[in-house]
Structure 1
């Protein structure tokens, strides 16, 4: 028994000495280098987070970080270790996303909201759905947020309905169905059906279709109804493409900018162009008479069309269409910050 207790006795005596206590204290105390390293790591982590957010906000591809000149520039003026693209994707992208969603939640809070959902295709032909959300207010405007953007395998009322439900769950994970009061979409048949489906989940939901989109559909109907005017506008547009001498002659005679170019994907641009031609028909005819019809087929056809009495009749009809003013208001109707009261005034004014 004495032999077993002896080593323990000497260990206890050693622990009680001043030398042991001093060394133990030094080992437990944090060194200045460890503290400095910890501070440096925290600082660099914050820098990487901010860098990730800034690149996304500025729509700058992350592969610029692999560019030696750009990488050295950042190192020189920030004094930070620059992460590579894979590090940002793995460690910071999701954090940035969660921060953005939290900011949206803090802005929306528990207010009544309206949502707008639309589908488009990217350059690779993939279907992409987007959902915008905004608080409902008659008197003051609020910020709208892109809450969700998702690729859809196919586009129909079921996939759109599912997309809307999933997006709302991002904002309110535990549900807040009574606060979704308004759904805004285009007039596509599957969107109309999706609106009916969603009313089952959101009892207070009212589905309306986009007024600006409706006006554009009417403008498109006008364009397809006036065949001669449409052909003439198309011909004159071709005449001045990559033809600086013709453009110079046009400006010498009319002393005006070239006629507005109708772009099918830009709402109301055809009516705007048609209005210009209706106002300046005599001047455009004078320009065409100075051009050689043998130089281009478009010149020959435009000169033939301008002598057609039906062309003048169609432009007179277009000029009298009240929709021209409505299409000019199209941008105001869909602009950021337009209140319900202001939009109503624009509609009545048209």
Structure 2
């Protein structure tokens, strides 16, 4: 008669929900290839995590360079776990790729370094801030906050200092988003007197206490709106086309997808 023991469940074979109450069945499972495969994978994972913990203080140069390269090339960090990605580096570079969690920690450290460099560029200088709508990698509408220096001659390329999920844009929400991102970068070095210029869209309510600079695209759109009143037939045609899309969300989706441009199909609700 088989010897009966207390029910035991394998902790390595995660998809195996069987409870082994017979000793012979338990020994048979332990000797199986499936159990050995998951046991080797568990030991390998434990070794990698131990190496990552011991090397967390000083990151290897290869790991930091790989993180910078993937961020600059807009490659998701999770791609390091793809088999083809791993085999390519192993074959041509002879390197063992770090895990996705290690690259994420390196990215956080690199982000702090970049923020420190941006702070050195912006502090104690006249700066401008620019806010505009954009989309993230998943197509969600975001508000991009950018800042740059003013040298009195040229308008230098701004730094992207934050992406804010501002669903309703008005002078209060936009001002809070800008101040929050500026304080995140500059900290105690933020001086309100150094903010000389603020660029937004054509809506003057965004920042009511500053001189507003209208975007060229919005200015041309205002001129086009005035031209529509001079041509009533064309205005009627445009209105009919708008109604054709307004009443059907499926048509709007197909129309936006035909351009293959990652822009939001509808503007952010601002009133």
Scaled to the shorter chain, the TM-score interval is 0.5 to 0.7
Question: Which of 143, 152, 155 in structure 2 is aligned with 1:138?
Answer: 152
Choose from 206, 213, 219 the match for 2:218: 213
What TM-score comes out, normalization by structure 1 length?
0.46
Highest Rg: 1 or 2?
1
SS of corresponding position for 1:170? helix
Q: Distance in 2 between matches of 1:58 and 1:161?
A: 32
Displacement of 1:106 = 2.5
What runs of 5+ residues in structure 1 fail to find an aligned partner?
1-36, 200-204, 236-262, 266-350
Give the match for residue 72 of structure 2: 57
For residue 45 of structure 1, report the CA deviation from its aligned partner. Answer: 2.2
Deviation at 1:101, TM superposition (A): 1.3
Across the two proteins, how many residue pairs are aligned to each other? 187
CA displacement at 1:158 relative to structure 2: 2.3
Structure 2 unpaired stretches of 5+: 1-50, 242-258, 262-271
Cα RMSD (Å) of the superposition? 3.4
Higher-helix-fraction structure: 1
- Counterpart of 1:193 (choices 172, 188, 205) is 205
Partner residue of 2:182 out of 153, 168, 171: 168
Residue of structure 1 aligned with 2:227, choices 216, 222, 227: 222
Q: Residue 100 of structure 2 is aligned with which of 77, 85, 104?
A: 85
Mapped pair 1:97 → 2:97:
no
Q: Answer whether contact 1:126 1:152 (CA < 8 A) is retained.
A: no
Q: Deviations over 1:251-270 (max 9, x none)?
A: xxxxxxxxxxxx9x9xxxxx
Q: Which has the higher strand share?
A: 2
Q: Partners in 2 of 1:93 and 1:177 — Cα distance?
A: 30
Does the residue aligned with 1:172 lie in a helix, a strand or coil?
helix
Distance 1:57 1:126, change over 3 A: same
1:1-350 matched pairs, under 5 angstroms:
45-89=60-104, 91-120=105-134, 126-174=140-188, 175-188=190-203, 192-196=204-208, 199=209, 206-222=211-227, 225-226=230-231, 228=233
Is the alpha carbon distance of 1:123 and 1:221 closer, same or farther for their aligned partners in structure 2, counting shifts above 3 Å?
farther
TM-superposed deviation, 1:151: 1.7
